[in-house]
Structure 1
Amino acid sequence: MKKKQIMIIIIPLFILGLLGYGVYWAFFDMSRLPKGDLISEVSSPDGTYTLKAYVSNGGATTDFAVRGEVNFNKENKKPKNIYWDYHEEKAIIKWIDKNTVVINGHELSVPNETFDFRR
């Protein structure tokens, strides 16, 4: 009887977990953003990072969007998407210090913080 009760609780939780991850993967995962066309590239003051900005054209049904990815110049890591904003065609990038960048008015601590208009 107790085993049956545990299974009645665990199976729905597992299914809800899978559904939740599926929604995140399909709609919010920043690693699945479109590549876009390179519009800007600015290195950090100490050369540790290079932030590359791309504009993505969704076609007739969606507006332009800007994606920013940080590249690790001194480490062997793959680039990481840290910025995604909609209704933008340009990227104004300014490094404040070696770990802080401002992209179109959004200040981020590199490489850990991200900005995603969907959240």
Structure 2
Amino acid sequence: MGGVRMKNKLITVSIMFIALMGIAGYGIYWAFFDVQRINGQDILTELASPNNTYTVTAYLNNGGATTDYAVLCTVTNNQTSKSKNIYWNSPCQTAAVAWVDDVTVMINEVELDVRHDVFDYRRQ
């Protein structure tokens, strides 16, 4: 009987430990690596796609005293009004934005399909 209780307790503790590590791992990812949680500060430029399906907005973000400026670009689907971050680069103070076609945009010589691509300088 004691062996079964000990085994059940070990399984319970193991499951709790794994769950806690998973939650901690997600929290670290969210806090330090998720580009979607970054908000824009000062608008640099805004440009609609050729068919006006999407709009890219570029922001200049001040990193404060210890970090250089960074550029954040968001894309907004003009039909659904849903927005997401697609470009995050530092150190950078300018945003050269040009549409290649209705779903492909060139931002500072980085070509992105706005439907699924994301550029994050921290992952390069």
The alignment's TM-score, normalised by the length of structure 2, stands at 0.87
Q: Does 1:72 align with 2:77?
A: yes
After TM superposition, the structure 1 stretch with the greater mean CA deviation from structure 2, 46-55 or 95-104, is 95-104
- Return the letter of the residue paired with 2:118: T
The structure 1 segments of at least 4 consecutive aligned residues displaced by more than 3 Å after TM superposition are none
Larger Rg: 2
CA shift, 1:102, in A, is 1.1
Structure 2 alignment gaps of length 5 or more: none
Name 2:118's counterpart in structure 1: 114
Structure 1 alignment gaps of length 5 or more: none
Name 2:44's counterpart in structure 1: 39
The alignment's TM-score, normalised by the length of structure 1, stands at 0.91
Once residues 68 and 35 of structure 1 are traced to their aligned partners in structure 2, the CA distance between those partners, rounded to angstroms, is: 8
Q: Does 1:96 align with 2:100?
A: yes
CA shift, 1:44, in A, is 0.8
CA shift, 1:36, in A, is 1.4
Once residues 67 and 110 of structure 2 are traced to their aligned partners in structure 1, the CA distance between those partners, rounded to angstroms, is: 22
- Return the letter of the residue paired with 2:23: L
SS of residue in 2 equivalent to 1:66: strand
Once residues 17 and 64 of structure 2 are traced to their aligned partners in structure 1, the CA distance between those partners, rounded to angstroms, is: 40
Q: How many residues align?
A: 118
